[in-house]
Amino acid sequence: MPLLTKVRQLPVNRWIDLALFLFLLTFPIWQNTYWVYIMSGIMAYMIFALSLDLLWGYTGLMSMGHSVLFGAGGYMIGIASAWANQADWIKFDQLPWFLAILSQPLGAFLAALFLPGLIALFIGLFMFSGKIRGVFFSLITLALAGISELFVINQSRYTHGDSGITVTSRTLFSNSDSQRLTDQQFYFVVLAFLLGSYLLCLWLVNTRTGKVLQGIRENESRLTYLGYKPAAFKLFIFMLSGMMAGLAGMLFVRVQGSINHSAIGINLATLVLVWVAVGGRGNLTGALIGTLLLQFSETKLNSVFSGISADFAQYWKLVLGLLLLLIVFVIPKGLIGVLLEQQQSRQGRDRKAAIMRKEVHSHDANP
Amino acid sequence: MTPTHKPADKAEAAPVLLETRGLSVSFNGFQALSDISLSIRQGELRVIIGPNGAGKTTFMDLITGKAKPTAGQVLFEGQDITGKSAAEIARRYKIGRKFQGPNVFDNMTVAENIELAVAGYEGLTQSLFFRASARFRHRVTEILEQIELADYRSFMATDLSHGQRQWLEIGMVFAQDPKLIILDEPTSGMTADETRKTGDMIKKLKGEHTILVVEHDMDFVRQVADYVTVFNLGKRLVEGTLEAVQQDPEVQAVYLKEAD
Amino acid sequence: MSPSMLLQLLVSGLASSFVLLLTSLGLVIILGYMKVVNLAHTEMLMSGAFICYYVYQAAGLPFIVALLVAFAVSFLFGALVERLIICHFYGKMSETLLATYALSILLKQAALLLLGKNYKKVDYPVKTVFQWGPVYLESYKLVVAGLAILSLLLTLLFIYKTKTGRMIRAAMQNRSMTESLGINTKKIDTITFAYGMGLAGLAGAIIAPLSTVTYTLGESWLTNTFMNVVMGGVSSLFGTFASSVLIQESVSVISGLSNSVTAQIIVLLVVIVVVRLKPDGLFTAKERR
């Protein structure tokens, strides 16, 4: 196949991805520190949305409690930082044994990455070995988000309860305040992780494993009659997705400088569903664009309207609800889903025409 | 189009591939199958016919691990596979099954459907680091040609016609490279032309593969079958060449009259 | 723990069971009979509580009027929602979840922006406290228990003894067959959904005096009601009753040993384990087969 044709057949959303990353790469050049800081947070959320897209968009597992894994990562950083800087609410002299790793160099980073993976492994083993699928998976993950929120509020000894934890350090590995990176520097740290996560996802969904995951989404029982064991694949993707969510939570807490129970509860769990639904699921780009569009608009509109109404955030949620309803009605495949659908139907028409021509030819050749 | 070779001679020579002994199953007190004993030899093409509710699909379910028998045994190449999981029966014992009505991966391309079915890479790590070799790609193309979908390889399965989707699933079973091919009503919903082509596809495999077909369409049965088993009300009624079976008064009473 | 304290915990646990049963009934109808996961269910509770506040507390009308208004308004709203939104997404799980979630946001934000953030308090319609030996119970909780049983019985009557109820069950068992008998299944869907929403609104009104009425009332019930219904076996009304009692009695006793939040967490985790072990629900009643 000539290179040009190959390039033309590339799904249209990959060009959007390219443009998006170029935009993000140059963003700090023409924007001030405040927006660089905002965009860093959004990029952490993008990693979170990607992780959900692997699970929901590709594998068909609609987790309504993905924030549990995001929050677990975030809280690791929160507790580590509070301990390292001896926050005034800390009443204990020693970290409990299961959190002792947080006092080690690199410890918080590893914990934020692997604890969510471990939680996902545990939940996954528990659920995928049984008959829990479809809507029951969604409802149980939703309940887990609710339970986790109660849990962190209840464990105020380590999580500072309702008020949450302030995180002043901003480096990747260390928790001491002295080595704080600037907003600009940390922006590129987050961007690097976002790019890495994106490339990992892109590679994964195009491997045979990625196709098996889509097979699970399309027709799980058929796969078993082809000799596959879907539970193993579901477990794998749930763990990977959990680790990505943990990474996102860790980066987000570093950017934002705080974490509280809302980062682990139902609010964020459903918010990320909205981002992915609006952008379009099962193509990676939708998760990125949905998150960027909605979070950027919220911040931008907030800065415009906050002078007019103190209730902006509440009106925004109302808008979000209306938008979600509109999307589900008009373009259930999401913004990027529509673009892809158009390209596919165009290619489909071309192919059909080619087959028609071929049939006519062969008919002419041997009447 | 009448079969020229004598299946009986050949069948006697070949070893038994699949054997069921006294297979019975009941659901909530309803006896769906009772005491089915049947054996199929290597390279045989066996057609099972029978009216609706005769237990044909249930019989397939018991062989492929979709349901577990309440009594009896399934032996495959002499090994007991009774009650084993569907994935194990597909992977280890290499029994491939096409379901009633197209059962494919709708929002994936035709080629992807076939690629997923090609056997030998079902493990997680195997599939993660899998790279399609030239031989693998050749095999996929070969199957696509066999099922007349070579031109449709980039189509989404959902965009195919009903008959083409049936072929796609038949192709998926071929791709599994199974020792036993089970086809449950492969021609349902097909046009007469498509049915005939399907018959040709299956006849081409005759001899090399062992095939078990459940079918309603009598034209198709006439086209492909030489040895037929008749089920009725969960029991094996009679077995023999199509001609012999058609002349059996019992069979005529319960089935052929209804069907024709 | 002294026996009298245990008794007190068991009695108040039982009282809460009826509250949970009441708040879950509408969900059972919609999830069990229509296979629709209605994430807006708990926001309907919240709306019912507000209706109770405005009709009973603010306008001073009799409590029973508030209950009837809450049911009627929620029923009509449910019918409207089914016709406008839900009917487009039957059989599409993700879309239904997203659409009903969107609806729940709209209800919640509308309540916040129109009715304000302030907590509203609804007086007990019956103010006495019932005493039996060492055990105390607000009389209103007895009323709630009575109303819960009444709602359950009326629902059972509706489902099993009326013509509409028979059609609802028929549509659940075999839709195309029901249609071929000339029954308008679309209308049945609308009635079923509206009835479920009506029950939610009614439940919200009944629990209003027990709660602080505010826009967040709904979300506090989300996890409990859904897990309750899932454990009860989705379409079984008796199962939901039984699992309500199990859940609230356990929460009550465990919170006597530690605190109420820990009790909630423990019980919900146990419920999840139960659901995993018995995916069809603990009390799959005969009505399913």
Domain boundaries, chain B: 1-94+178-260, 103-176
Residue-level pLDDT at C57:
92
Domain boundaries, chain A: 15-331
Cβ distance of C105 and A320 shorter than 8 Å: yes
C-alpha to C-alpha distance for A358 and A338, rounded to whole angstroms: 30
Identity of the residue in A214, A225, A347 whose CB atom sits nearest the CB atom of B90 = A225
**Burial grade of A160 (CB within 10 A; 0-12, 13-18, 19 or more):** buried
Helix (H/G/I), strand (E/B), else coil: B30: strand
The answer to whether B172 contacts chain A (CB < 8 Å) is: yes
Tell me whether strands A165-166 and C135-138 are parallel, antiparallel or unpaired: unpaired
| Cβ atoms of B157 and A344 closer than 8 Å | no
| Cβ atoms of C201 and C23 closer than 8 Å | no
pLDDT tens, residue by residue, A186-195: 999 999 999 9
- As beta bridge partners, residue B180 has B95, B210
The answer to whether B105 contacts chain A (CB < 8 Å) is: yes
What is the distance of C-alpha A143 from the center of its chain? 19
C-alpha Rg value of chain C to the nearest Å? 19
Say whether domain A15-331 belongs to CATH 3.10.350.
no
DSSP, residue by residue, B201-243: HHHHHBTTBEEEEE---HHHHHHH-SEEEEEETTEEEEEEEHH
Most confident of B23-32, B85-94, B149-158, C44-53: C44-53
Q: How far is A358 from chain B (nearest CA, A)?
A: 10
Chain A with chain C: Cβ pairs closer than 8 A: 110
Flag whether pLDDT at A197 surpasses 60: yes
pLDDT tens, residue by residue, C262-276: 999 999 999 988 888
Give the contacts of C105 (CB within 8 A, at least 6 positions apart).
A317, A318, A320, A321, A324
3-class SS letters over chain C: CCHHHHHHHHHHHHHHHHHHHHHHHHHHHHHHHHCCCCCCHHHHHHHHHHHHHHHHHHCCCCHHHHHHHHHHHHHHHHHHHHHHCHHHCCCCHHHHHHHHHHHHHHHHHHHHHHHCCCCEECCCCCCCEEEECCEEEEHHHHHHHHHHHHHHHHHHHHHHHCHHHHHHHHHHHCHHHHHHCCCCHHHHHHHHHHHHHHHHHHHHHHHHHHCEECCCCCHHHHHHHHHHHHHHCCCCHHHHHHHHHHHHHHHHHHHHHCCHHHHHHHHHHHHHHHHHHCCCCCCCCHHHC
Cβ distance of C272 and A324 shorter than 8 Å: no
A208: chain B residues, CB-CB within 8 Å: 115-116, 121, 126-128, 130
- Which CATH superfamily groups domain B1-94+178-260? P-loop containing nucleotide triphosphate hydrolases (3.40.50.300)
- B-chain residue closest to A349, CA distance: B155
Band of residue B1 on the pLDDT scale cut at 50, 70, 90 = very low
Give the contacts of B154 (CB within 8 A, at least 6 positions apart).
A347, A351, B109, B110, B111
Residue-level pLDDT at C278:
81
C-alpha to C-alpha distance for C189 and C172, rounded to whole angstroms: 10
pLDDT average, residue stretch A111-117: 95
- The amino acid occupying position B170 is I
Cα distances (Å, whole numbers) of residue C96 to A290, A302, B260: 20, 30, 46
**What is the residue-averaged pLDDT of chain C?**
89
The answer to whether B152 contacts chain A (CB < 8 Å) is: yes
Q: How far is A288 from chain B (nearest CA, A)?
A: 22
Most confident of A209-218, B93-102, B219-228: A209-218
Cα distances (Å, whole numbers) of residue A193 to A50, A254, B70, C233: 12, 13, 55, 44
- The amino acid occupying position B6 is K
Band of residue C191 on the pLDDT scale cut at 50, 70, 90 = very high
- A-chain residue closest to B88, CA distance: A227
Interface ipTM: 0.90
| Cβ atoms of C191 and C172 closer than 8 Å | no
Phi, psi of A331 (to 5 degrees): -130, 75
**What is the residue-averaged pLDDT of chain A?**
90
Helix (H/G/I), strand (E/B), else coil: B41: strand
Q: Which chains touch A (3 or more CB pairs under 8 A)?
A: B, C
A124: chain C residues, CB-CB within 8 Å: none
Cβ distance of C109 and A146 shorter than 8 Å: no
pLDDT average, residue stretch A222-231: 92
**Burial grade of A252 (CB within 10 A; 0-12, 13-18, 19 or more):** buried
Identity of the residue in A208, A218, A224 whose CB atom sits nearest the CB atom of B127 = A208
Cβ distance of A215 and B176 shorter than 8 Å: no
Identity of the residue in C89, C106, C222 whose CB atom sits nearest the CB atom of A318 = C106
pLDDT tens, residue by residue, B186-240: 888 888 899 999 998 888 888 788 999 998 788 888 888 888 998 888 888 888 8
pLDDT tens, residue by residue, A241-292: 999 999 999 999 999 999 999 999 999 999 999 999 999 999 999 999 999 9
How many CA within 13 A on the CB side of residue A65? 23
| Cβ atoms of A48 and A250 closer than 8 Å | no
C103: chain A residues, CB-CB within 8 Å: 321, 325
| Cβ atoms of B97 and B182 closer than 8 Å | yes
Cβ distance of C230 and A136 shorter than 8 Å: yes
pLDDT tens, residue by residue, A36-74: 999 999 999 999 999 999 999 999 999 999 999 999 999
Identity of the residue in B108, B155, B176 whose CB atom sits nearest the CB atom of A226 = B176
Band of residue A98 on the pLDDT scale cut at 50, 70, 90 = confident
Residue-level pLDDT at A367:
47
Cβ distance of A132 and C279 shorter than 8 Å: yes
Structure tokens at A151: 């849990």
Band of residue C289 on the pLDDT scale cut at 50, 70, 90 = very low
- In the numeric block, the tokens 């019912």 are attached to C48
Identity of the residue in B64, B128, B152 whose CB atom sits nearest the CB atom of A225 = B64
- In the numeric block, the tokens 């959900």 are attached to A52
- The amino acid occupying position A353 is A
Cβ distance of A211 and B159 shorter than 8 Å: no
Phi/psi class of residue A282: alpha, beta or left (left: φ > 0; alpha: ψ in -120 to 50)?
A: left
- The amino acid occupying position B174 is F
pLDDT average, residue stretch C53-65: 93
Identity of the residue in C37, C109, C275 whose CB atom sits nearest the CB atom of A317 = C109
C-alpha to C-alpha distance for C62 and C60, rounded to whole angstroms: 7
